[in-house]
């Protein structure tokens, strides 16, 4: 099949990785976006959307050396680039459009080590590499060099002053210098002297104002103001180098070794000179990555901070919450949950879940979710990793270690080892497409295992050297392998035999892949070719001159072949099953070798890993007939949403949850108890504050009375002062009026004299002007006539000579034509004569021209004299106009003085009216004060009984709390007594059992004795009595009750059982009584709690009633104010008000008029538990 009109292109989508070899590795381009280098390009990551855009570099850019952003707008980004040909340039990008807007280069700079924008983003300063370290001041928009100079010392940082674009600072080992741009030259000034000047300065930054902060490699920060050292701040990083220093509004932030970041804040008190140091230590934070912090960047709004670590990790820090963050915790959030810091050695993609598994030289395994753009599982091992493969289900991974191949289960957030295989240094491992088998490379052999039984199914042996690549066919019936021995073998997995082979000497193959129909394999090696083999024969080949292909990837539809090179490029080819191969576009990706490639099953996304530790994600777009083929967006529902969790983890989580629930219950009980204590404390504080407020109110009343008396005294003094001012003002006004009248008369006389003088000067100037005009007109006419006549004569002579010259030339030419052959000598003489005549005529013409020029100069001289006279006339006219303007100005001054007098008279009238209005207003305010005082007293009388009732209820609540505590103590004492009685009952039961056993034994002996005695009595023979009595003595006196007790044991056990039953019944009775007592106590407590709740409701009702009263007071106050304004509008129409105004107001407590305003503030409502009713009541009382 031949593919026509088919093409493809890749679009950069995301990158998992970063590179630390650039100055200022991370920079904020906005509040939520940070830029950092990855591979050969610059990534711009949005922390909110987790999306990424790229500032792509062309092929001729080998590496980036420095980055800088415009300070305020962050609109522009400058990137220093090292080119492949050994030169360097600076590219300026627009961060909004992501396009290159300007490129700068300089012949003296083979590389750039630092660069910085000015504060207004119009200028750019760059520093070249060593040994000259040339500093160049650019007007970058016009690509113009303003100034340059050689520093001849290593420079690590250069920066503009935020206040002045012509002031620049530079720092480096033994260098801290200030530069100024003066007349297109840069002049340097040393800011330090002595031993401190030879310090190794690692970084510097400008603080607000003219303050420069510089960090050293021993952990100190130097504060330089106005070019002089002010102080040295000893930081918490003392003894270790400070790699980065950044300034924000509250102080500065430094980053150093072991992942430490210290924050220092300004001290306002110290800024005033009370202390030497202007900064103090605030907090120090440390990340869990104990590596160096190379660079930090603060967002424009100072909400987040971005940090770049030496292990190629990028992290953000919530600097806006720095006040509440604890120093011991790790608050750094890594972009993408972390990256690889060493070359990526393995890559594989999952089918049923959106996962990509990678392993690297940093001994870490990371499983990425390419839909969420995040690392779901990350684990670091203690051994080197060489290969990885993920099962199509996404629940298992195979990892090759140096000693064994291990099989892991992928849990929700961890990898759990399940099986291991004795394969050392496995460099290549693959699962089959169905997942039921996997193949592992053991140097030159390939071992096939079963995924579910872990049984070794077969071993493929034919390669004589290391196998570099293996690939399963789509139907999992075949496997192809390629090695450094130049052999490409196809194997049948049914009999585990070799079916096809292709051996090429002196070629080291690095990768091999199957097509979808499994009838062809594609391989690449160090022969700079890509070869397709069909049944052990080469079918097609394509050369890659100048590039060594390391990896191959054929799309699932066999249309596109991607090739990764050792130079970091991705090549694309329109492949197909047969026919010609069309080369597509190629893309520069990384700085090193492309190690692995993989694509999703739908051929929409391509993943590329490289030696610089980056994992690039591309979107694959296919074009047919010039149009992009649409593709379906990724649907999360098409993937499995299942994770593995072990039973032990689930049980542990359940146990943890139950423990947390118990802790929550305990914390709730403790919080309720603390709340109760706090409410009691608040009641006491409220009472104390009320007493203090009453005392303060009394003091304020006394102070107000004193101020009122002082005010009255000042009013009297002000009235007297105003009267004195009026008299003085009237006197001054009369004097000014007489003085201005005199001045006005004098100025009028002067004005008339100047007017006469002006008229005389105008007449004389007009006469002189007429005479001069007539004189010079006649002279000009005469000169003009002479000039025209002479010019006409010269023109006639010139025309005549010209005609003669033409006639002579014609005759001469005719004569020459006739006599040319015979009279050459005569011709030459004639030519010479005529040439002389021509020269003479030309000289005559030149003389006439010079005379004409002289006449023209004379004419110009006369014309200049006439212009001079006109200028003099104009000057006289200007003087006359100035005199007129001066007279008008004097008239305006007279008018202004009159207006000033009129304004002052009007001001005096206004002040008199204002004084009368203030007096009327004071009388009205006194009336209002009297009315408000009366209403306040009435309201206070209405509120006092309710305050008394609130206090009485608070006392009742307190008594009930005390009674509740007494009941609790009584219950506790009863419980103790019940325990004591139970112990006594147990002892008595034991004693009763012992006594009863003794009684039973005695009774048994007595019964036996009675029976024997009865037998003895019934015996008739007396001789028998003596032996029987002796027997009774031996039995009951000597032997005792030992044998009898032994015979009567069953009777004592029955008695013990009866006594035990009796005691159990007694114990049950006591338990029932104790339960009844507890129930009674519980009912009593509930009753008291109900009464407490009722009291709280009553208190809340009283509070609401109090607020209503306060609102009524405010309404009455507003009504009084409205009535006052109305009465004030009526003025003198109401005689009663005038009479009331003239009546002196009674002396009242003025501070009481402010009391309603204080009490009108509503008390904040609080939710009160039944145990905290006292606190609520106390709050209400304090508000009253």
Nearest Cα to Cα of residue 586 among 602, 608, 613, 556: 608
145: phi then psi, degrees, rounded to nearest 5: -85, 115
Q: Is the pLDDT of residue 1018 over 90?
A: no
Query: Residue 796, exposed/middle/buried by CB under 10 A (0-12, 13-18, 19+)?
Result: exposed
- Report pLDDT for 1120: 81
The DSSP line for 472-498 is E-TTSSEEEEEETTSEEEEEETTTTEE
Q: Stretch 830-848: mean pLDDT, rounded?
A: 76
Query: Residue 673, CB half-sphere, CA atoms under 13 Å: how many?
Result: 6
**Alpha-carbon span 800 to 808, nearest angstrom:** 12
Any residues with CB less than 8 A from the CB of 520 and at least 6 apart, and which?
514, 532, 533, 534, 539, 577
Return d(Cα 566, Cα 611) in angstroms, integer: 9
Phi, psi of 1118 (to 5 degrees): -65, -40
For residue 200, give the DSSP letter: B
Question: What is the predicted pLDDT for the residue at 825?
Answer: 66
Is the pLDDT at 298 greater than 80? The verdict is: yes
- What's the burial of 420, exposed, middle or buried (CB within 10 Å: 0-12/13-18/19+)? middle
Q: Is the pLDDT confidence value at 981 over 90?
A: no
Query: Which residues share a beta bridge with 831?
Result: none
Residue 1177 and residue 1110: Cα distance in Å, rounded? 19
Q: How confident is the model at residue 643 (pLDDT cuts 50, 70, 90)?
A: confident
Is the backbone peptide bond immediately before 607 cis, with ω within 30 degrees of 0?
no
What is the 8-class DSSP label of residue 411? B
DSSP of 1083-1100, one letter per residue? HHHHHHHHHHHHHHHHHH
Residues 653 and 1146: beta-carbon distance below 8 Å: no
Coil, helix or strand at residue 153: coil
Count CB-CB contacts under 10 A for residue 4: 12
User: What is the distance of C-alpha 766 from the center of its chain?
Assistant: 82
Environment class of 717 (CB within 10 Å of its CB; exposed 0-12, middle 13-18, buried 19+): exposed
CA 174 vs. chain centroid, Å, equals 34
Is-contact 259 309, C-beta < 8 A?
yes
Stronger pLDDT, 97 or 853, i.e. the higher one = 97
Task: Evaluate the CA torsion angle 177, 169, 114, 157 in order and state its sign.
Answer: positive
Structure tokens at 190: 């040393």
Residue 523 has pLDDT above 50, yes or no: yes
Q: Average pLDDT, stretch 1135-1151?
A: 38
How far is CA 461 from its chain centroid? 58
**Sign of torsion, CA 22 24 29 35?**
positive
How far apart CA 563 and CA 565 sit, in angstroms, is 7
What DSSP designation does 587 have? E
Predicted pLDDT of residue 1148: 36
Percentage of residues of the chain with pLDDT beyond 90: 37
Do 80 and 96 contact (CB within 8 A), yes or no? no
pLDDT at 1040 over 70: no
- pLDDT higher than 70, residue 1140: no
Which of 868, 860, 877, 879 has its CA nearest to residue 772?
A: 868
CA 887 – CA 751 distance, rounded (Å)? 6
> Which is nearest to 138 in space by CA: 111, 115, 171, 170?
115
Region 558-573 average pLDDT: 92
Backbone angles phi, psi at 302, to 5 degrees: 60, 40
Q: Give per-residue pLDDT as tens, 160-179.
A: 999 888 999 999 999 999 99
Residue the block writes with tokens 């000289």: 843
Q: For residues 879 and 55, which has the higher predicted lDDT (pLDDT)?
A: 55
Q: Provide the 8-state DSSP code for 646.
A: -
CA angle 602, 603, 607 (to 5 degrees): 120
Longest dimension (CA), the chain: 228
Contact call for residues 1095 and 970 (beta carbons, < 8 A): no
pLDDT given for residue 477 in this prediction: 93
Mean pLDDT throughout 760-782?
Answer: 80
736 C-beta neighbours (distance < 10 Å), count: 14
User: Pick from 292, 281, 220, 287: which is nearest to 256 by CA?
Assistant: 292
Mean pLDDT of the chain: 84
C-alpha 1080: how far from its chain's center?
62
SS (H, E, C) 1120-1135: HHHHHHHHHHHHHHCH
Domains and CATH numbers, the chain: 344-638 (2.130.10.10), 655-804 (no CATH)
Tokens of 290: 């104990």
* pLDDT reading at 820 higher than 70: no
1125: left (phi over 0), alpha (psi -120 to 50) or beta: alpha
Cβ pair 37, 74 in contact under 8 A: no
pLDDT at residue 1147 is higher than 50: no
**Per-residue pLDDT at 12 exceeds 90:** yes
User: At residue 674, does pLDDT exceed 50?
Assistant: yes
Residue 670 neighbours by CB under 8 Å, 6+ apart: none
Is the pLDDT score of 1173 beyond 80? no
| Dist. CA 1179–CA 672, nearest whole Å | 18
First-to-last alpha carbon distance for the chain, in angstroms, is 96
Q: Check whether 530 has a pLDDT greater than 90.
A: yes
Q: Which residue from 1156, 1092, 806 is spatially nearest to 963, judged by alpha carbons?
A: 1092
User: How many Å apart are CA 1092 and CA 1174, to the nearest integer?
Assistant: 9
Distance between CA 964 and CA 1083 in Å, rounded? 12
Mean pLDDT of the region 76-103: 92
pLDDT value for 1052: 54
The mean pLDDT value for 800-816 works out to 77
DSSP for 511-571 reads EEEE-TTSS-EEEEETTSEEEEEETTEEEEEEE-TT--EEEEEE-TTSSEEEEEETTSEEE
Instruction: Evaluate if residue 1175 carries a pLDDT over 60.
Output: no
Residues 6+ positions from 1054 with CB-CB distance below 8 Å: none
Strand positions, DSSP E, 801-913: none
| Cα Rg of the chain (Å, integer) | 56
What kind and span of H or E run contains 367?
A: strand 364-369
Q: Which of 231, 320, 217, 240 is nearest to 275 (CA)?
A: 231
Q: Is 1138 helix (H, G, I), strand (E, B) or coil?
A: helix
**Res 948: pLDDT:** 79
- pLDDT, one tens digit per residue, over 1044-1098 is 444 444 455 666 677 777 777 877 888 888 888 888 888 888 888 888 888 888 8
Residue with tokens 């990028």: 314
Across 306-321, average pLDDT:
92
Task: Indicate the Cα dihedral angle 106, 108, 112, 114, nearest 10°.
Answer: -100
* pLDDT score at 53: 93
Judge contact between 261 and 240, C-beta under 8 A.
no
* Residue found under tokens 């993920």: 390
């Amino acid at each position: 099949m031949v593919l026509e009109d088919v093409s493809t292109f890749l679009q950069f989508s995301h990158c998992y990785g970063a590179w630390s070899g650039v100055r200022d590795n991370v920079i904020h381009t906005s509040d939520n976006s940070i830029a950092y280098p990855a591979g050969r390009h610059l990534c711009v990551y949005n922390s909110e959307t987790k999306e990424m855009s790229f500032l792509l570099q062309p092929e001729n850019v080998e590496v980036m050396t420095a980055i800088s952003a415009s300070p305020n707008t962050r609109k522009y980004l400058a990137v220093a680039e090292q080119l492949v040909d050994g030169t360097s340039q600076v590219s300026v990008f627009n961060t909004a459009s992501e396009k290159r807007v300007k490129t700068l280069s300089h012949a003296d700079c083979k590389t750039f080590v630092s660069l910085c924008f000015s504060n207004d983003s119009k200028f750019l300063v760059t520093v070249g590499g060593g040994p000259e370290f040339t500093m160049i001041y650019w007007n970058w928009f016009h690509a113009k060099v303003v100034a340059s100079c050689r520093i001849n010392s290593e420079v690590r940082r250069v920066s503009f002053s935020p206040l002045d674009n012509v002031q620049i600072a530079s720092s480096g080992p033994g260098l801290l210098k200030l530069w100024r741009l003066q007349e297109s030259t840069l002049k340097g000034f040393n800011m330090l002297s002595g031993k401190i000047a030879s310090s190794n300065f690692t970084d510097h930054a400008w603080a607000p104002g003219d303050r420069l902060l510089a960090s050293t490699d021993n952990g100190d920060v130097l504060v330089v103001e106005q070019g002089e050292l002010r102080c040295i701040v000893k930081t918490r990083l003392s003894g270790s180098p400070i790699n980065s220093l950044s300034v924000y509004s509250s102080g500065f932030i430094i980053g150093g070794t072991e992942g430490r970041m210290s924050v220092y804040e300004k001290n306002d008190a110290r800024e005033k000179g009370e202390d030497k140091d202007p900064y103090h230590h605030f907090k120090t934070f440390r990340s869990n990555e104990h590596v160096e912090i190379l660079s930090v960047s603060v967002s424009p709004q100072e909400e987040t901070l971005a940090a770049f670590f030496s292990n190629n990790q990028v992290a953000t820090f919530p600097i806006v919450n720095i006040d509440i963050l604890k120093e011991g915790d790790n608050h750094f959030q890594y972009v993408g949950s972390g990256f690889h810091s060493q070359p990526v050695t393995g890559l594989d993609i999952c089918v049923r879940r959106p996962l990509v598994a990678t392993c690297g030289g940093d001994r870490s395994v990371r499983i990425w979710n390419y839909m969420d753009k995040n690392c779901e599982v990350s684990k670091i091992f203690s051994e080197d990793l060489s290969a990885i493969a993920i099962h199509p289900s996404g629940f298992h991974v195979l990892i090759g270690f140096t000693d064994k191949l291990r099989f892991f289960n992928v849990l929700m957030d961890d990898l759990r080892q399940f099986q291991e295989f004795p394969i050392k240094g496995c460099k290549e491992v693959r699962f089959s497409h169905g997942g039921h088998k996997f193949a592992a490379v053991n140097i030159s052999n390939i071992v096939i295992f079963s995924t579910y039984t872990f049984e070794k199914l077969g071993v493929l042996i034919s390669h004589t050297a290391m196998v570099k690549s293996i690939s399963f066919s789509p139907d999992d019936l075949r496997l192809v392998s390629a090695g450094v021995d130049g052999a490409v073998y196809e194997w049948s997995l049914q009999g585990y035999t070799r079916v096809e082979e292709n051996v090429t000497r002196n070629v080291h193959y690095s990768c091999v892949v199957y097509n979808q129909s499994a009838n062809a394999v594609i391989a690449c090696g160090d022969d700079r070719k890509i070869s397709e083999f069909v049944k052990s024969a080469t079918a097609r080949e394509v050369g890659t001159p100048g590039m060594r292909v390391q990896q191959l990837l054929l799309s699932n539809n066999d249309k596109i072949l991607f090739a990764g090179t050792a130079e970091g490029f991705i090549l694309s080819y329109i492949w197909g099953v047969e026919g010609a191969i069309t080369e597509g576009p190629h893309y520069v990706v990384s700085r090193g070798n492309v190690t692995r490639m993989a694509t999703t099953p739908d051929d929409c996304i391509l993943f590329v890993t490289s030696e610089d530790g980056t994992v690039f994600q591309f979107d694959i777009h296919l074009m047919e007939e010039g149009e992009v083929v649409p593709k379906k967006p990724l649907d999360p529902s098409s993937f499995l949403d299942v994770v593995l969790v072990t039973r032990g983890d689930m049980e542990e989580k359940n146990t943890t949850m139950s423990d947390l629930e118990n802790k929550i219950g305990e914390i709730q009980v403790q919080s309720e108890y603390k709340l109760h204590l706090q409410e009691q404390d608040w009641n006491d504080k409220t009472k104390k504050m009320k007493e203090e407020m009453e005392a303060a109110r009394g003091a304020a009343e006394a102070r107000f009375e004193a101020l009122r008396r002082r005010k009255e005294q000042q009013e009297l003094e002000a009235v007297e002062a105003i009267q004195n001012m009026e008299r003085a003002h009237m006197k001054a006004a009369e004097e000014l009026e007489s003085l201005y009248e005199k001045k006005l008369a004098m100025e009028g006389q002067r004005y008339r004299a100047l007017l006469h003088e002006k008229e005389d000067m105008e007449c004389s100037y007009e006469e002189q002007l007429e005479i001069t005009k007539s004189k010079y007109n006649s002279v000009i006419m005469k000169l003009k006539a002479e000039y025209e006549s002479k010019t006409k004569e010269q023109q006639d002579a010139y025309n005549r000579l010209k005609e003669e010259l033409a006639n002579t030339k014609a005759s001469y030419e005719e004569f020459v034509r006739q006599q040319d052959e015979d009279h050459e000598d005569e011709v030459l003489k004639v030519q010479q004569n005529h040439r002389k005549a021509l020269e003479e005529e030309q000289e005559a013409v030149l003389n006439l021209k010079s005379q004409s020029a002289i006449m023209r100069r004379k004419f110009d001289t006369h014309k200049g004299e006439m212009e001079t006279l006109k200028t003099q006339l104009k000057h006289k006219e200007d003087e006359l106009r100035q005199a007129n303007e001066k007279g008008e100005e004097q008239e305006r001054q007279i008018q202004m003085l009159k207006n000033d007098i009129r304004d002052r008279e009007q001001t005096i009238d206004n002040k008199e009216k204002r004084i009368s209005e203030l007096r009327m207003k004071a009388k009205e305010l006194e009336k209002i004060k009297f009315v408000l005082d009366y209403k306040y007293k009435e309201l206070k009388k209405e509120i006092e009984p309710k305050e008394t009732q609130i206090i009485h209820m608070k006392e009742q609540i307190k008594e009930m709390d005390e009674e509740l505590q007494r009941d609790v103590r009584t219950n506790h004492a009863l419980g103790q007594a019940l325990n004591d009685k139970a112990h006594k009952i147990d002892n008595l039961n034991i004693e009763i059992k012992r006594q009863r056993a003794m009684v039973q034994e005695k009774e048994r002996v007595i019964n036996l004795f009675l029976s024997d005695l009865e037998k003895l009595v019934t015996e008739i023979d007396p001789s028998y009595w003596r032996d029987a009595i002796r027997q009774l003595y031996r039995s009951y006196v000597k032997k005792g009750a030992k044998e009898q007790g032994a015979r009567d044991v069953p009777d004592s056990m029955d008695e013990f059982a009866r006594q035990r039953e009796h005691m159990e019944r007694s114990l049950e009775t006591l338990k029932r009584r104790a339960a009844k007592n507890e129930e009674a106590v519980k009912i009593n407590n509930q009753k008291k709690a109900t009464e407490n709740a009722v009291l709280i409701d009553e208190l809340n009702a009283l509070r609401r009633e109090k607020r209503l009263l306060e609102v009524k007071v405010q309404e009455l106050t507003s009504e009084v104010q409205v009535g006052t304004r109305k009465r004030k509008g009526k003025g003198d129409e109401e005689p009663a008000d005038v009479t009331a105004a003239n009546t002196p107001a009674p002396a009242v407590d003025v501070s009481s008029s402010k009391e309603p305003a204080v009490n009108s503030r509503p008390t904040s409502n609080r939710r009160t538990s039944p145990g905290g009713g006292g606190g609520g009541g106390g709050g209400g009382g304090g508000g009253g």
